[in-house]
């Protein structure tokens, strides 16, 4: 059939940098983008994990190259982004996904330390990556940035204030840069995942996950990394050309309930 519409849903040939790509949602996103024909820079502090994901993609016939970097080393971010762009010949898509859990009571003696580390990795690394990637993204003609925030970026939980504050920061950074960078042809959006089965939630006992999902999530289960990766893909498509500054919640309906999140038993 002759196509009746103009916009493309293909990222084949696009160059994408995914941070935190050795595990969880980052790995799922790197694999999905490779499946879709993108050339993927797999970046993570976990060198072994990076090598595994790159092998997985290349053995499946995709294109990927790995970079091992701890994003807490802020001064190394810009040179690494330049290296990635030079290796692939540009950069079209940046996925700011790497993040750490950082819970802590406000009165904890370690609070300052937890706050500092959380903000360095969960927020400051995002602006450093964006600043370094921008010259390439704006040359792309259809530059795309997706920041991975959290449902903690739209609501709050006790004992989680450093993480919640940083994730609200990710939403704010997204909105301000969407306004600022729109004129450069670069869109900036963010995803707020709910409870997802990844390395970050691996230590939560299965029973606790089941209870949480049954009581609080309308879909009554945790999400899978690939379900978030598909939402991320939808924001970087050439056809997503008019989506800018959006906050896309991917949480099985967790945050929109008006009954206090207490589901009736089933
Ligand atoms: P994960 O632990 O499976 O993956 C995170 C990856 O980021 C790991 O491979 C880790 O090595 C990497 N990373 C962490 N700190 C780094 C650093 N300093 N430098 C470089 N790489 C680093 O966790 P997940 O869940 O896939 O996390 C991805 C993002 O999703 C994070 O930003 C997290 O805050 C967010 N998120 C996760 C949720 C969940 O339920 N799993 C819910 C909401 C948001």
Within 10 A of 223 (CB to CB), how many other CB atoms are there? 22
Ligand 1 site, CB within 6 A: 20, 22-26, 44-46, 49, 70-72, 97-100, 121, 148, 150, 193, 195-196, 198-201
What's the pLDDT tens digit per position in 134-149?
A: 999 999 999 999 999 9
Cα of 7 from ligand 1 centre, angstroms? 32
pLDDT value at residue 261: 66
CA torsion 145→25→203→65, rounded to 10°?
A: -90
Averaged pLDDT score across all residues of the chain: 97
Secondary element (H or E) of residue 187: strand 186-193
Domains belonging to the chain, first-starting first, are 15-250 (3.40.50.720)
pLDDT value at residue 264: 62
Q: How many CA atoms lie within 13 A of 106 on its CB side?
A: 5
Three-state SS for 160?
strand
Nearest CA to ligand 1 atom 32: 99
Decide if 136 is catalytic: no
What letter would DSSP give residue 124?
A: I
Q: Parallel, antiparallel, or unpaired: how do β-strands 186-193 and 143-148 relate? A: parallel
Whose structure tokens read 């997204």? 174
Q: In whole angstroms, what is the distance from residue 219 CA to residue 215 CA?
A: 10
Q: In whole angstroms, what is the distance from residue 254 CA to residue 151 CA?
A: 9
Kindly list the distances between the CA atom of residue 237 and the CA atoms of 33, 47, 90, 145, 243, in Å, as whole numbers in the listed order. Answer: 10, 29, 17, 11, 10
Residues 6+ apart with CB under 8 A from 180: none
Nearest CA to ligand 1 atom 6: 20
Confidence of residue 259 (pLDDT cuts 50, 70, 90): confident
The arithmetic mean of pLDDT across residues 95-109, rounded, is 96
Ligand 1 atom at minimal distance to the Cα of residue 201: 41
pTM above 0.95, yes or no: yes
Best of 70, 146, 174, 198 to mutate for ligand 1, by most ligand atoms within 8 A of CB? 198
Using the predicted structure, report yes or no on whether residue 95 has a pLDDT greater than 60: yes
Ligand 1 atom at minimal distance to the Cα of residue 196: 40
Q: How many CA atoms lie within 13 A of 43 on its CB side?
A: 24
Which of 111, 136, 163, 242 is labelled catalytic?
163
Nearest CA to ligand 1 atom 39: 196
Dihedral over Cα of 22, 25, 28, 34: its sign: negative
Q: In whole angstroms, what is the distance from residue 255 CA to residue 220 CA?
A: 13
Cα of 97 from ligand 1 centre, angstroms? 6
What's the pLDDT tens digit per position in 19-77?
A: 999 999 999 999 999 999 999 999 999 999 999 999 999 999 999 999 999 999 999 99
């Amino acid at each position: 059939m002759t196509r009746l519409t103009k916009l493309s849903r293909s990222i084949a040939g696009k160059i994408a940098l995914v941070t935190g790509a050795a595990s969880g949602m980052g790995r799922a996103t790197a694999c999905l983008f490779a499946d879709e024909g993108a050339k993927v820079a797999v970046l993570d502090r976990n060198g072994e994990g990076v090598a595994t994901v790159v092998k997985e993609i290349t053995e499946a016939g995709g294109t990927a190259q790995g970079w091992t970097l701890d994003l807490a080393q802020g001064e190394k971010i810009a040179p690494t982004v330049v290296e990635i762009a030079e290796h692939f010949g540009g950069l079209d898509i940046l996925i700011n996904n790497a993040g750490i859990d950082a819970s802590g009571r406000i009165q904890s003696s370690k609070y300052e330390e937890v706050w500092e580390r959380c903000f360095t990795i969960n927020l400051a690394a995002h602006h450093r990556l964006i600043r370094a990637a921008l010259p390439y993204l704006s040359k792309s003609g259809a530059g795309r940035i997706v920041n991975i925030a959290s449902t903690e970026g739209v609501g709050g939980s006790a004992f989680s204030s450093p993480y919640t504050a940083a994730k609200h920061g990710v939403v704010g950074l997204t909105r301000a840069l969407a306004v600022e960078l729109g004129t450069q042809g670069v869109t900036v959006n963010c995803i707020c995942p709910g409870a997802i089965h990844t390395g970050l939630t691996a230590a939560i006992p299965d029973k606790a996950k089941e209870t949480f999902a049954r009581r609080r999530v309308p879909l009554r289960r945790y999400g899978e990394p690939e379900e978030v990766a598909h939402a991320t893909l939808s924001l970087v498509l050439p056809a997503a050309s008019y989506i800018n500054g959006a906050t896309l919640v991917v949480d099985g309906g967790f945050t929109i309930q008006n009954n206090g999140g207490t589901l009736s038993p089933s």
